[in-house]
Chains A and B, each alone.
Chain A
């Protein structure tokens, strides 16, 4: 069973459209994240949720809106897609929060291509 699963794996869409990426984890973790990986493989955190509450919200356009219906799910909705949004988006989860560090567990990514 996949621990962190995200769908879809590939997403091709046109500029201006609205799309969502879904993420689910079955690890019982309290904290979930969205990371963006650009074409140079650089991983940058976008959002972090702990028990459905937003903890981290890096400088991300407000076209990106995360939603956490429960602590096992963290979805990412993107409005008015732009060419620069093309990237691989990774969902991750961890046990830790605050000073209780623990590793991130990543999904296999969603490759978003905006044309």
Chain B
């Protein structure tokens, strides 16, 4: 079956530093990838997405990098703020299986003031 995993379950960073959260996926047919942020007591919130025809995409303070060769995805958060503390999930989907997303296990990011 599908597996999407994260290298580190927890990550602590100092406020103002950059954060990098990594994710590995196993389905070579996956062609769409999303990062979600989940705060305590809330549902996952969309952060940024990327399609397989790209290897980098930037948003506001966030950048997603995709390496299809090694099936690796990363989320970079610039100038991390206390409000960035949350659990971050990657998810992937393949056209051949429709809009069915498989989620990684999550990384808990803690920002130290």
Residues of A within 8 A of B (CB): 4, 31, 35, 40-45, 48, 55-56, 90, 92, 94, 96-109
A100 touches B103 (CB 8 A): no
> What's the A-B contact tally at a CB cutoff of 8 Å?
66
By beta carbon, the residue of chain B nearest A48 is: B100
Size class of the B contact interface (CB-based, 8 Å): 20 to 34
Looking at chain B's contact residues, is the secondary structure mostly helix, strand, loop, or mixed? strand
Q: Which residues of B contact A43 (CB under 8 A)?
A: 44, 89, 91, 103
B15 CB-CB contact with A under 8 Å: no
Task: Contacts A41-B87, A101-B93 given; indicate if A90 touches B99 (C-beta within 8 A).
Answer: no
26 pairs, CB–CB < 8 Å, chain A vs chain B? A40-B105, A42-B105, A43-B89, A43-B91, A45-B100, A45-B102, A48-B100, A55-B98, A56-B98, A90-B43, A92-B43, A96-B99, A98-B99, A99-B95, A99-B96, A101-B93, A102-B99, A103-B34, A103-B46, A104-B34, A104-B46, A106-B43, A106-B45, A107-B43, A108-B41, A108-B42
